[in-house]
Amino acid sequence: MTNRRDFLKKTGIVGAAGVASLAAPAVHAQTTIRWRMQTYAGPALAEHVIKPAIDSFNKVAGDQMQIELFFADQLVPTGELFRAMQRGTIDAVQSDDDSMASPTEVTVFGGYFPFASRYSLDVPVLFNQYGLGEIWEAEYAKVGVKHLSAGAWDPCHFATKDPINSLADMQGKRVFTFPTAGRFLTQFGVVPVTLPWEDIEVAVQTGELDGIAWSGITEDYTVGWADVTNYFLTNNISGAWAGSFFANMDRYNELPANLQELLKLTMDSSHYYRQWWYWGGEADLRVNGPKMQLTSIPDEEWQTVEDAAVAFWDEIAAESETKAKVVEIFKTYNETMVKAGRPYRY
């Protein structure tokens, strides 16, 4: 009768010592993938617009991958973010195209392109249903960067030390704002000023700046600008900031498929958080916020600014074929929204 021990002997599994010498399974050491990501946002703002999503990613990815998050200007100045990512000095970026000075045909549309959107939902619809996503992906692929995902932030309002009740009140105001927004606003006498993000609050206090046209009221309260400005203009030059996640193309392509998918889900989570955080905050702080008095420019006078935006769009469209294509999408989209009526436009 063949028992189990005899069987193991005959098959050579039992060694001279009489014990089973089954080969141990191979153990492959896993090296954790590590990325460095820098956001355009300072620490207080990043606590909302990016940190929860990255914390979630790291928790799920575990030993497979970890993303180290850096805030505005922490590793490199915001204006150098693109170049640093392109070179691989940093692996990923959260920013608008305009602020990080990316050398693409679509850079001018990042941040606050005047009156391109009225609500935050306009931005993801434009990218996912009207073709902007494909254009951005193609433009960044040309320069070795992966455009990962675009989403909306808050609208662009003026927060100032002195009240703005008319277009005349804008004359000579030294304002921290985005490059393209500043280019547009100069025709109304605004003097755009570029400074490091973390210097803005002090610059308002010392008089170097008269105000800020960088955000909505939620951000003003969150980052401390509501503490140094007295007035908030309810008219805005754009209904939502358009920003994106980007990555060095080679580093992104090295990721296994499951981590690429996890990164996508993480970005979607980040976009969703900002949708409700800003939308609710803008209304609540206008009504209940104690720090800034609301002012408004009459609709009839503000129409001058909106009309100027149409001319500005045409000016930008004339610069290149790609820019013309993007402007045409904006026009088609907004015409559709107007025809759709309430609640899309009114």
Q: Which CATH number fits domain 33-153+240-289: 3.40.50.10330, 3.40.190.170, 3.40.710.10, 2.40.50.140?
A: 3.40.190.170
DSSP three-state, residue 186 = helix
Helix pair 132-141, 321-340: axis angle to 10 deg = 160
> pTM for this structure?
0.88
Listing DSSP states for 63-108 in one string gives GGEEEEEE-TTSSS-GGGHHHHHHHTSSSEEEE-TTTTT--STTGG
* pLDDT for the residue numbered 29: 53
Regions of the chain where pLDDT drops below 70 = 1-29
Contact 34, 66 (CB under 8 A): yes
Residue matched to tokens 């391109």? 116
Q: Is 298 left (phi over 0), alpha (psi -120 to 50) or beta?
A: beta
CA separation (Å) from 279 to 44, 64, 111, 169, 216? 18, 35, 17, 28, 10
Q: Domains of the chain: which residue ranges?
A: 33-153+240-289
Q: Please report the pLDDT score of residue 3 as a whole number.
A: 52
- Nearest-5° angle of CA 155, CA 234, CA 114? 45
Give the pLDDT score at 193. 95
